[in-house]
Structure 1
């Protein structure tokens, strides 16, 4: 395909790429017109919502701490509930997540899980061809026509008779789609992802007793939830659908959002079915939000587990808030991947059982895994907790002491180690290299890493540098120490990967980007924003 041909005009939209015939099926004139109507009506509000985030952050940077909003106390104290939860979402005890490449979609839908969250966000690098291929893969999965033949082995993959329920996670509000412009500016990637998935699949989904279901990431305020509610309502009206046809689960994966869970549920009450503990992004957001607060600095990310008081409070409050409103409280991601080495694999499965038991005992209705090989272990924990029930909406946690802002912000104990910092560097460089090469979901050192874990890795070191924190060996973390470690760990990576793989990859580019992100005077909000410039 010739990328240098003149751009195609479509109404007020400017398409900055030529399409193959296959891509024209996905991005046809009708779809573009629908995208145009959404963008015309809603895109101008996105910069305002993002600017409001920055204004709130300025106050926190100046010394304030996040807290529950006094002006919305009536919402938190009211006795309202959400509209309803569809039948095929009543049991979500295990969900698998992953990107939208064709083989992954088939394997995930065939896994021993209730739901597959098909991801255009944290585990996905949104190169243009990959975005359109992903939408085609989901359309074919919904139609039941998806298949895949491995080009080397010849192995064939196709859907089983009873695949998991499909939920589409769109991009966050901060991410643009640079290949489609509105008045010369990139449109919101979230609107693009939403429009294509909805348009191509809503009829078929409704015909088979399901519906257009979405995961909404990275919200920071109830005003953003209200924006999404307007998008959903407008779309339902445009297509003559009853209010509440579109359903969403919102990830509570930012620190500001944990203080507005009632408000987010309230503003989306016609469309929302639950909230999710997006734990890895939540940890990153804790660092980012409290970056100027030297008494709130996290230790090595490996020891920041869900049994830490600030994370356990977050889990318990999410359960209590959701169940009071008739909404599901979904648990977080198990990022481990199975090992072929029996002793290591037993250790992994024990970690999964411990983690999922904490979630089930807290009252969560289900949980996430990143690999089909972990589904049985996670499912067994929730089978045991649920018994004959499909969910735990009856667990209200009414006897709990109120979860306070102090509980949610409690400093986390644990060491900052030389080994942990070096591990952070290697993980972040490998992940960034994969992302800028078009792969957003990467197995590294036994974990399925996505953007969130790389964000934690680089943001932790940035904060340690800013506040001159010492490692457990007494060395103070400085820009010079980081740069020295980065060079040393690049040598380690070349040894681990082999010179050929290392030289053929984009590891030096990734290290340069890692260095800029980690030593900048201001903490860059998302590594995917500068990373997006590397994608075609």
Structure 2
């Protein structure tokens, strides 16, 4: 009977809705390639995810993150990473965003040094979004991508003279792709995103000395980096690519990874180009790591800026580590977007962007991120002033002496009623849009993505489950406060049908209510939400 059941399992099964042109992306050879990736690496992926759970259980029991004793030799010995290819030597301004055709065209035409095409935090992974994104990137690589506005008012085409370098960010190791089953198991979302892009585009890009290049998200340790090294070597071998031609940048956006930056660089030393300060996910990871630590509760997210001591220490340690190893130290995201109709408020927002980029450039970063094309000019002006060459590797930051306690010291601040209510509103509005297929949402003149929504969601859970916190006006931070904020949202968002995801507001309220009242903090908001996507 067991043998009969095994024979009934289709080796590769697509469970998503059949979409026009799907066969061109997911033909037999492409599916065979994805199946080979799954069979080679799924057990190792599951082992790494189990190690994450075990580590978090130790943190929940009171253990604190620290530098590893078993890898001291890696940190203290002299070595460097492989030189960066020409297309990734000057990365002073990178724009990031989702993978819909309009965004891909605008980003590649923006004049930024690089465009990070994001399948992760700024893309809601509906089956349609994923395939439309893969098709858009494939056409962009061949120079044939165009897009017509639905009303026919504007036709978008790629600028053939664009020099913006394409970098793709797949989803993280923790995510599955439920629409592709291999031997009855869900395929890793990481392997689906990276594998399918590489299968269709790697040889074309390699022939042009353009990679392929990837950003690797949410790593927590050197072993996870080593797993990526095995995957990328496998991809190169199977696709007939030169060894080491796939180049990567790793986002240091988890607290555990901040203690293993040397080790992560070492594990990928033949292909890694740099590390990036993924500040929003990093703050979320701090909250998640210390979810059970009553003495490490952060104030409202608007008060947790990069000048806070624990974030300043993380940023400067990243610069020091990268420059010691010959790698780029990339700065973080400017989430502001232009404020239409209010020149004074717009100037104030742009001044904050400029000040943030000044801080990064003076600290020694080799480039930075923006979320909107209008911010490229400001970021470029700042880095042109402070970085006349392609990088700042000569800025070694020998003055930086960061220890364990500096990296985990909590911020000082308060929780205001406005800050509490804003967390509730951002969570609900972002979740509603995400459930409706939009992963990048402007809210109050900030570009919110999954990472920023996670900060708001994790803060709400931690504040409420601690049970003894108060707003700055003395109001207890309890579930009565939370429930009242949720109940007030439908009337507050009376025009919600015109908002992104307006039709899913009630679904989002119900999901946030369930997650916040739960006795355990869900690892990622997107895990339960994903099961509700088409």
Give the structure-1-normalised TM-score. 0.95
The answer to whether the 8 Å contact 1:430/1:507 transfers is: yes
The equivalent residue for 1:73 is 72
Paired position in structure 2 for 1:505: 503
In the alignment, the residues of structure 2 paired with residue 501 and residue 412 of structure 1 have an alpha-carbon distance, to the nearest angstrom, of: 33
Deviation at 1:478, TM superposition (A): 1.6
How many angstroms does 1:491 deviate by? 2.1
1: distance between equivalents of 2:367 and 2:61?
Answer: 38
Q: Which residue of 1 aligns with 2:250?
A: 250
- Residue of structure 1 equivalent to 2:394: 394
Match of 1:22 in 2: 21
Matched residues in 2 for 1:10 and 1:323: separation?
50
Change (3 A) 1:28 1:70: same
CA offset at residue 276 of structure 1?
A: 0.4
How many angstroms does 1:43 deviate by? 1.1
Q: Match for residue 102 of structure 1?
A: 101
- SS of aligned partner of 1:295: coil
Residue 470, structure 1, aligned to residue 470, structure 2:
yes
Alignment partner of 2:186: what SS? strand
1:70-111: CA deviation from partner (whole Å, max 9, x where unpaired): 111011011111122100000000000000000000001111
* 3-state DSSP of counterpart to 2:493: helix
State the match for 1:368 in structure 2.
369
Corresponding residue for residue 291 of structure 2: 291
For residues 22-421 of structure 1, the aligned pairs below 5 Å read: 22-160=21-159, 161-340=161-340, 341-387=342-388, 389-400=389-400, 402-421=401-420
CA distance in 2, matches of 1:498, 1:484: 18
Distance 1:11 1:534 in 2: 24
Distance 1:475 1:504 in 2: 31
C-alpha deviations, 1:401-427, integer Å up to 9, x for none?
x20111111110111111100011111
Kept after mapping to 2: 8 A contact 1:83/1:244: no
Q: Secondary structure at the match of 1:296?
A: coil
Tell me if the contact between 1:417 and 1:472 (Cα under 8 Å) persists in the aligned partners. Answer: yes
C-alpha distance in structure 2 between counterparts of 1:209 and 1:355, whole Å: 33
Match of 1:4? none
Partner of 2:529: 531
Deviation at residue 39 of structure 1 after TM alignment: 0.6
**Alignment partner of 2:104: what SS?**
helix
Q: Contact 2:496–2:503 (CA<8 Å) still a contact in 1?
A: no
Aligned position for 2:423: 424
Does the CA contact (< 8 Å) of 1:339 and 1:345 recur in 2? yes
Native 8 Å contact 1:319 1:363 kept in 2: yes
Deviation, 1:59, is 1.1
Structure 1 unaligned regions, length at least 5: 1-8
Three-state SS of the structure 2 residue aligned to 1:43 is: helix
How many Å apart are 1:466 and its aligned residue?
1.4
SS of the counterpart of 2:381? helix
- TM-score, with structure 2 as normaliser: 0.96
Change (3 A) 1:68 1:444: same
Alignment partner of 1:113: what SS?
Answer: coil
Quote the RMSD (CA, aligned, Å). 1.5
Q: Output the CA distance in 2 between the equivalents of 1:371 and 1:500.
A: 22
Cα deviation for residue 499 of structure 1 reads 6.2
Report deviation, 1:498.
5.0
Q: Decide whether aligned partners of structure 1 residues 500 and 383 sit closer, same or farther in structure 2, where only a CA change above 3 A counts.
A: closer
Q: CA deviation at 1:57?
A: 0.9
Deviation at 1:10, TM superposition (A): 10
Q: What count of residue pairs does the alignment treat as equivalent?
A: 524
Instruction: State the partner residue of 1:516.
Output: 514
- Supply the distance in 2 between the matched residues of 1:348 and 1:232 (Cα, whole angstroms): 40
Q: Structure 2: where are the runs of 5+ without partners?
A: 1-7
Distance (Å, rounded) in 1 between the aligned partners of 2:153 and 2:205? 31
Distance 2:505 2:60 in 1: 33
**Does residue 438 of structure 2 align to residue 435 of structure 1?**
no
Q: In the aligned structure 2, how far is the partner of 1:193 from the partner of 1:11? A: 21
CA contact (8 A) 2:432 2:500 kept: no
TM-fit CA distance, 1:205:
1.0
